[in-house]
């Protein structure tokens, strides 16, 4: 039986962090797509972001968080340093297949410069209901444009060994400076939501 858990997390970390139209230091919602009967214990962390600094920071800090919970984890950026070339798509897919991991954690920074946060939220909900696999996510997301965006929405997704979604969450709208200064806080919120859903 499909178990769906929606959690609204409107937790402001500081009063100074609150901004009009949303709090960058929050998860809008999180959801389990499957039962957490056998959570992956060996994960590859793949951040898909057009800013290499943000990508590396997300991966490294997520790996640290997971290892702190005795989950084996490794970052993808030492294996595939660039995500802007067409061949990088196959390199990421090859890394997922070859690294011998039990699952993958993706962190995707979606540009909201043109899409807008409301349309992005609608698209995310439709994507959750679809049978999209991690291969399709990588193929649709890469290669990344070389021009960096100003605003993003962050999507966290835990994938099983078969490439199917297990758990997912999304943030509110974040600026690039928000992401550079609050990576640890956002990841802690994601880890806490995963813990509440019994995935870690």
Q: Is residue 101 part of a domain?
A: yes
CATH of the domain at 154: 3.40.50
- Per residue in 31-66, pLDDT (tens digit) is 999 999 999 999 999 999 999 999 999 999 999 999
Residue 165, classed as helix, strand or coil, is: strand
Q: Counting beta carbons within 10 angstroms of the beta carbon of residue 80, is it exposed (0 to 12), middle (13 to 18) or buried (19 or more)? A: buried
Inside any domain, residue 9: no
Read off the pLDDT band of 25 (50, 70, 90): low
| Distance separating alpha carbons of residues 193 and 165, to the nearest angstrom | 16
Q: What is the pTM of this model?
A: 0.88
Task: Examine residue 6 and state whether it is found in any structural domain, yes or no.
Answer: no
104-131 pLDDT tens trace: 999 999 999 999 999 999 999 999 999 9
The token duo for 120 is 């992005």
- In-domain check, residue 72: yes
In a domain, 171, yes or no: yes
Q: Is residue 8 part of a domain?
A: no
pLDDT of residue 24: 56
The answer to whether residue 1 is domain-embedded is: no
Q: Give 67 or 19, the one with higher predicted confidence.
A: 67
pLDDT band at residue 99 under the 50/70/90 scheme: confident
17 DSSP 8-state letter? G
What is the domain extent for residue 89? 21-196
Confidence of residue 17 (pLDDT cuts 50, 70, 90): very low
Total tally of structural domains belonging to the chain: 1
Confidence band for 98, pLDDT divided at 50, 70 and 90: confident
Measured distance CA(56)–CA(149) in Å, rounded: 17
């Amino acid at each position: 039986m499909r178990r769906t858990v929606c959690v609204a997390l409107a937790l402001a970390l500081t009063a100074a962090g609150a901004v009009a139209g949303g709090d960058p230091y929050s998860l809008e919602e999180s959801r389990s797509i499957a039962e957490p009967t056998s959570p992956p214990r060996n994960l590859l962390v793949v951040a898909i972001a057009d800013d290499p600094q943000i990508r590396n920071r997300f991966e490294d800090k997520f790996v640290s968080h997971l290892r702190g919970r005795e989950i084996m984890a490794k970052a993808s950026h030492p294996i595939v340093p660039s995500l802007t070339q067409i061949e990088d798509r196959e390199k990421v897919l090859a890394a997922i297949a070859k690294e011998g991991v039990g699952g993958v954690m993706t962190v995707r920074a979606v540009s909201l410069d043109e899409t807008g946060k409301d349309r992005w939220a609608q698209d995310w909900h439709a994507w959750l209901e679809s049978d999209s696999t991690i291969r399709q996510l990588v193929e649709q997301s890469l290669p990344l444009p070389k021009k960096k965006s100003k605003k993003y929405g962050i999507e966290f997704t835990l994938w099983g060994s078969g490439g199917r979604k297990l758990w997912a969450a999304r943030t509110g709208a974040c600026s690039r400076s928000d992401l550079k200064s609050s990576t640890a806080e956002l990841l802690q919120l994601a880890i806490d939501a995963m813990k509440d859903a019994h995935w870690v």
